[in-house]
Amino acid sequence: MCTGNICRSPMAEWVFRHRVEEEGLDVEVDSSGTGGWHAGDEADARTVAALRRAGYRSAHIARRFEPEWFAEYDLIIALDEGHLRALRAMAPDAGAREKVRLLREFDPEAGSDLDVPDPYYGGRADFDHALELVEAAMPGLLDEVRAALKDR
């Protein structure tokens, strides 16, 4: 989950899709935004370029997060503190709020800075940096998902 669902969240979606497919995990991976102003748009071309440079594929149409999705998903990942607050505010109950986590919580090297900065107003280096931060969190996120699947 990011703001407009055209930069960070599609990036995280496709990196995670790649990882779960490599491992053969049976999980649904999707992304959305807190706002709907980009709904129906493809991912930002700079996001797609960063993903392709790193060897990932991408196909994406932006959409806004809907509160009823709390019931459908076991884990909802926010890319920064603002998204975390927005998601928890729309959660219907404490159980739904507990499903919302920050992506960088899963990166042991993240320290106290858990935001993936929005690259939208930046250039290639900003998109590549966002991708690096996303990739760094993937091993920990995969561990979390594997543990949840084992508990089922």
d(CA 22, CA 16): 10
Choice among 30, 41, 118, 128 that is catalytic = 118
Only one residue has tokens 């509160």, namely 67
**What residues does 102 pair with on adjacent strands?**
78
* Annotation marks residue 53 as catalytic: no
* Residues 39/32, Cβ–Cβ less than 8 Å: no
SS3 135: helix
Interatomic CA distance for residues 17 and 28, integer angstroms: 9
Alpha-carbon span 11 to 47, nearest angstrom: 6
Q: Is 7 tagged catalytic?
A: no
Q: Give yes or no: 118 in active site.
A: yes
Catalytic residues: 2, 8, 118
